[in-house]
Amino acid sequence: MSGVFDFTAKDMTGSEVSLNEYAGKVLLIVNTATGCGFTPHYDPLEAMYKEFRDKGFEILDFPCNQFANQAPGDEEEIHQFCTLKFGTEFPQFAKVDVNGEDALPLFAYLATEKPFAGFGKGLKNAALKKFADSNNKQYGDKAYIKWNFTKFLIDREGNVVARFEPTTDMEEVKAAVVAELEK
């Protein structure tokens, strides 16, 4: 496979979706959870989506329960939570694994293209690293994603251009999205 648009994923109803449907758009692919300390990221994500979707921007939301069981509901429960609490309108896919033998191949690809480079500096980031390392031991070398709300920026040709850990300030993420949209 040569790019993100070569992959498929199941939507909330279980239907297979070719990511080629998003060819020509700038994407932000995010693994999410409804019960995480980073769940408030839905607010700035939705704000970006509303601001930029008419300029060829899409956010693809992949709920995942692999990080301290912080997305325990089924697809419908997760969708209801996101739409009622945060007003999300961007595409939400079926709940997936992003690590381990059963990881959605898309996430293995994303993480290979832009490997984990750390959570950043500071006490909060160090604490998250310790917790994430403990959680991800079970996946060994297939611990592709370190925590919920890891974001991958994809250009209009399907190339992975940036990875943002959940500790990255959302204004930095937005600036990168704007820069990519302006290319």
Detail the DSSP E strand segments found in the chain: 8-10, 16-18, 26-32, 57-63, 151-154, 160-164
Cβ 89 vs Cβ 49: under 8 Å: yes
In this prediction, residue 2 has a pLDDT band, given cuts at 50, 70 and 90, of low
Residues 22-79: tens digit of each pLDDT: 999 999 999 999 888 888 899 999 999 999 999 999 999 999 999 988 888 888 888 8
Mean pLDDT calculated for residue range 78-83: 81
Q: Which of 101, 55, 74 is nearest to 13 (CA)?
A: 74
Residue 176's CATH number = 3.40.30.10
To the nearest whole number, what is the mean pLDDT of the chain? 92
151-154 and 16-18 strand pairing: unpaired
Number of domains the chain is built from: 1
Instruction: Give the residue numbers spanning the domain of 98.
Output: 4-181
Q: Is the alpha carbon torsion for 41, 46, 49, 51 positive or negative?
A: negative
Largest pairwise CA distance in the chain: 42
Tell me if the pTM is above 0.85: yes
Q: Which residues are catalytic?
A: 36
